[in-house]
Amino acid sequence: MNVSRPPQIPLLELDLLKTLVAIAETGNFSTAAASVLRTPSAVSMQVKRIEDMLGRPIFVRDSRSVTLTADGAVLLEHARRLLALNREMVARFIEPDLAGDVRMGAPDDVAERFLPGMLRRFDETHPCVSVTVVVDTTDRMMEMVRNRQLDMTIVTGDGGFQGTEDTELLLRQKLVWAALKGGVAAERTPLPVSVWEDGCVWRDAGIKGLEKRGIPYRIAFESAHIAGQRAAILADLAIAPIPVSTLTEEIVAARPELALPDLPYYTLGLHIGEDPSPPVQAAADHLRASFACC
């Protein structure tokens, strides 16, 4: 009996991904070629190899610039994470004595859901690097980086964020309407909602959706902390727009028959200050690699 084997998925070499990132960051093949120590023709051949392997274009070229296609943007996101994972893995063996301080900022939900495990693993691989975390709003933490009070910060953004020159995309997650399992808050009129202040990505997404659908609502609970949102839900005082990863056995997605507006994705980004030290670079690589596995 012949058993057919599934087709093997080709592997993208790290050198190809490194060239992809260089082109995306510089905007042209010549500058990217210099940064990866290759000729422009060699870089063009590397891009062709990627496009042939994937069966679709990743760059749009004209006489003066190079831009990513939608597929190229997705590939770039994963390429950065894979390169960071490789750097972190190798650094574990060749930089065991790296020492210094890292001051980083993080939103409340990130500090609670992601950082404990991530920082514990970083401490295991970089025992001589001390990390101090400040929990605050995105705007204030960005300002602290500009004022050199923080070395880097994790920030929140809307679902369409693809990264900028100084802030890279770490993670994209779906927002959902969360309610108490078996609760009745989602059936009340006006709909009781738990959110934070204006400017919060989760609040803006939820409120805009309700207003667009014409669903009457009231702000029943306000908290800047994910623990506060959970408390309101568990008390059946309100429902809240929160990331799907925060759902539990008791806090569940609101029932489809309630016809609540669909919520968009939201993003986490990494903003690093100027001239990061080796410990800061190591911590940033660890975050990139860790979020790549989320």
pLDDT by residue, tens only, the chain of 294 residues: 455 566 677 888 999 999 998 888 888 888 888 888 888 889 999 999 999 999 999 998 876 778 889 899 889 888 888 887 887 777 667 666 688 999 999 999 899 989 998 998 888 788 789 999 999 989 999 999 999 999 999 999 887 787 787 899 999 999 999 999 999 999 999 999 999 877 788 999 999 999 999 999 999 998 888 888 999 999 999 999 999 988 999 999 999 999 999 999 999 999 999 999 999 999 999 999 888 877
What global pTM score does this model have? 0.69
pLDDT for residue 105: 97
Q: With the C-alpha atoms ordered 44, 270, 284, 112, is the resulting torsion angle positive or negative?
A: negative
- Judged by DSSP in three states, 120 sits in helix
pLDDT for residue 123: 84
Q: With the C-alpha atoms ordered 245, 251, 257, 263, is the resulting torsion angle positive or negative?
A: negative
pLDDT for residue 65: 76
- Those residues whose C-beta lies under 8 Å from the C-beta of residue 153, and which sit 6 or more positions away, are 104, 105, 106, 134, 138, 141, 142, 144, 145, 270, 271
pLDDT for residue 6: 62
Q: Cα separation of 48 and 114, whole Å?
A: 37
Can you read off the two tokens belonging to residue 186? 């989602």
E strands in the chain: 59-61, 66-68, 100-106, 129-135, 152-158, 167-180, 191-195, 217-222, 240-243, 251-253, 265-272
CB atoms within 10 A of CB 30: 10
User: What one-letter code names the amino acid at 20?
Assistant: L
pLDDT for residue 5: 62
Can you read off the two tokens belonging to residue 152? 């880097």
